[in-house]
Amino acid sequence: MSKVVEISPTTRHEGHSKLVLKVNDEGIIERGDWLSITPVRGVEKLAIGKTMDQVPKIASRVCGICPIAHTLAGIEAMEASIGCEIPEDAKLLRYILQCANRMHSHAIHNILALPDMYIPGTDVKVNPFTKEEPVRSVALRIQRIREIGQTIGEIVGGEAIHPSNPRVGGMYVNISPRAKAKIYDLAKEARVLTQQQMEFMIAIFRNYQKRDWSEVGGVEVPIPKDLGYHNQGYMATAPVYGSSSLDETPMWFPERFTEVRPWDWYMGEVEVDEADPNYPIGGTSPVGTKAWPQMEACTGVPLYDGQPVEVGPRARQAIFKNYDEKGTIGLQIARQMEFPETAYGIIDALDALDTSGAVLADNIPQGDGSLGWAANEAPRGADVHLARVKDGRVQYFSMLVPTTWNFPTCSRALEGAPWRLAEVIMRGYDPCVSCATHMLVIDEDKRLVAQKLIQ
């Protein structure tokens, strides 16, 4: 007979989410729902009537970890709508921003995932904030990688968190030769550090993979060899940067995308009838708690070719590099494999960059209302923005962000796992929940439905 366990809130990610789990008598998940419970902020509604220059800046505010991805996706959706091609040196500056953002974001992800893991050869979990070696040196390396990524982002983007230099039509200014030299030095340092970090993290994850059990809240939980497996597909548009509807060969197709309401996807009302007060942090929800994922979820459910898809590092590695390792550990290792190429990508772009080159298009059309889209390969996956711009004003704007794609896929990946390891699976996907908390559900006639859920 199934029981219901609720982990609310989930921890070690940005934003608010919960897990509602139906489990069997052995504590194995039969059905899992991972859902955002961060309040809807209505970014798409705020965009209507704004100028095409304002909207990407508004959109970037949905997240403090990957604002570069949202800024670039938003700007390029506008450019795709108005048919604006930008100079090559502007593209190179955006590519550097993309790599810098991924470098710092993957480092954050490591900090969030490490406490689930063990120091190889011991039964001691990793505390990334301890002063003891060898972990102390690793923590310092992570912080230095983050610092390098953010510093490069600030130099090229104008600000480290919400970049002000990118604009519709290119960039406001090119970087100076002196700034280029500094970025070279930082990227060369990062090349060594990211290689070391990749090797360390892969060793940590492989060690977890070989273990028979993990301790969670004082309970030894068996680790299944298929932890986090799912049979859903992958979606990625490029190894590093992304694609847009301006491309000669676009890598994302709006007609393959559909969306269903949370009401049609998540569980109905249930009552918690199993709890563990010792589960970290603060215990699971007490017995008798009511949960209603259909009503509580703050996102629609995007489907590609009619099914959920995984986006992010493994999707990129699988589609462009034939990577085939499944499960939570396979996903975490794919993320580490992207680390060194962030530094090499910056160096390659710098080699090609002319600091005297133009970075703003000569002509910036004002748009006729055509649909344009841009899919930026954010650290955690394809960040798709769609826009219609007419006479410089935004008529339509939509964001399909990485976590939105990964919510339903991760929910499927929970099935068959011990419920006490559900957060380990979840943290493999995404520490960025807040980006996903915006929902507009329309039917085939483009009429707004699920109005009640967004009021």
Q: Which of 294, 269, 306, 309 is nearest to 450 (CA)?
A: 294
Question: How high is the pLDDT of residue 31?
Answer: 97
Give DSSP secondary structure letters for 416-434.
Answer: TSBGGGHHHHHHHH-SB-G
Cβ(345)–Cβ(240) below 8 Å: yes
Q: What mean pLDDT is predicted for residues 243-272?
A: 95
Band (pLDDT 50/70/90 cuts) for residue 448 is low
71-115: per-residue pLDDT in tens? 999 999 999 999 999 999 999 999 999 999 999 999 999 999 999
* Residue 166 pLDDT exceeds 80: yes
Burial category of 401 from C-beta neighbours within 10 Å (exposed 0-12, middle 13-18, buried 19 and up)? buried
Question: How high is the pLDDT of residue 147?
Answer: 96
Question: How high is the pLDDT of residue 16?
Answer: 85
Band (pLDDT 50/70/90 cuts) for residue 437 is low
Burial category of 363 from C-beta neighbours within 10 Å (exposed 0-12, middle 13-18, buried 19 and up)? exposed
Question: How high is the pLDDT of residue 322?
Answer: 97
- What percent of the chain stands above pLDDT 90? 84
Q: Which of 143, 110, 172, 18 is nearest to 313 (CA)?
A: 110
Q: What mean pLDDT is predicted for residues 349-370?
A: 98
| CA distances (Å), origin 374, targets 70, 108, 243 | 10, 25, 6
Question: How high is the pLDDT of residue 451?
Answer: 44
Band (pLDDT 50/70/90 cuts) for residue 63 is confident
273-326: per-residue pLDDT in tens? 999 999 998 999 999 999 999 999 988 899 999 999 999 999 999 999 999 999
Band (pLDDT 50/70/90 cuts) for residue 454 is very low
Please state whether the peptide bond connecting residue 68 to the residue before it is cis, i.e. omega within 30 degrees of 0.
no
43-61: per-residue pLDDT in tens? 888 999 999 999 999 999 8
The distance from CA 41 to its chain's CA centroid, rounded to whole angstroms, is 18
Give DSSP secondary structure letters for 368-397.
Answer: EEEEEEEEEEETTEEEEEEEEEETTEEEEE
Band (pLDDT 50/70/90 cuts) for residue 34 is very high
Q: What is the mean pLDDT of the chain?
A: 93
Cβ(52)–Cβ(392) below 8 Å: yes
Q: Which of 51, 49, 57, 151 is nearest to 100 (CA)?
A: 151
Q: What mean pLDDT is predicted for residues 27-50?
A: 90
- What residue spans of 83-134 are helical by DSSP H? 88-113
Question: How high is the pLDDT of residue 422?
Answer: 98
Question: How high is the pLDDT of residue 431?
Answer: 63
Question: How high is the pLDDT of residue 441?
Answer: 56
* Residue 39 pLDDT exceeds 90: no
177-189: per-residue pLDDT in tens? 999 999 999 999 9
376-389: per-residue pLDDT in tens? 999 999 999 999 99
Residue with tokens 């959109």: 59
Question: How high is the pLDDT of residue 12?
Answer: 86
Q: Is pTM beyond 0.85 here? A: yes
How far apart are the C-alpha atoms of 118 and 212, rounded to whole Å?
12
The distance from CA 141 to its chain's CA centroid, rounded to whole angstroms, is 22
Q: What mean pLDDT is predicted for residues 197-223?
A: 97
Q: Which of 143, 32, 66 is nearest to 376 (CA)?
A: 66
Band (pLDDT 50/70/90 cuts) for residue 359 is very high
| CA distances (Å), origin 59, targets 27, 63, 419 | 41, 8, 35
